[in-house]
Amino acid sequence: MSCEADPLVLDFVEWIAREPRAYAEVISTWKTSCPRLTIWEDAADRGFVARETVPGLGLVIAVTEDGEKLLRANGR
């Protein structure tokens, strides 16, 4: 895995890594009207975050093992 990564993707993955976030919170916080700025979709497509259902919480977005590796490789 390359150590070069989009800084906004790194920021997003780091934010998710602090704690799994409710899907609605992710959509609300990281929404954009710019089709060229797809930070959280890019992170999901690259396998750094994933959707999962957690009993009592519902649908959440959590960091994957690849996301954790990305953060470590970039000193975060």
What CA–CA distance (Å, rounded) separates 23 from 73?
Answer: 26
Listed in sequence order, the residues at least 6 apart from 3 whose beta carbon sits closer than 8 Å to its beta carbon are: 73, 74
Is residue 1 a part of any domain in this protein? no
What CA–CA distance (Å, rounded) separates 55 from 12?
Answer: 24
The reply to whether the predicted model has a pTM over 0.85 is: no
Which range of residues forms the domain containing residue 15?
A: 7-73
Q: What is the mean pLDDT of each run of 10 residues along the chain (76 residues)?
A: 72 94 88 74 93 90 96 93
**CATH number reported for the structural domain that contains residue 14 in this entry:** 1.10.10.10
Q: Distance of CA 31 to CAs 1, 14, 34, 63, 76, Å?
A: 27, 17, 9, 18, 23
Is residue 20 a part of any domain in this protein? yes
pLDDT one-digit tens code per residue, 30-48: 877 776 667 888 899 999 9
Is residue 48 a part of any domain in this protein? yes
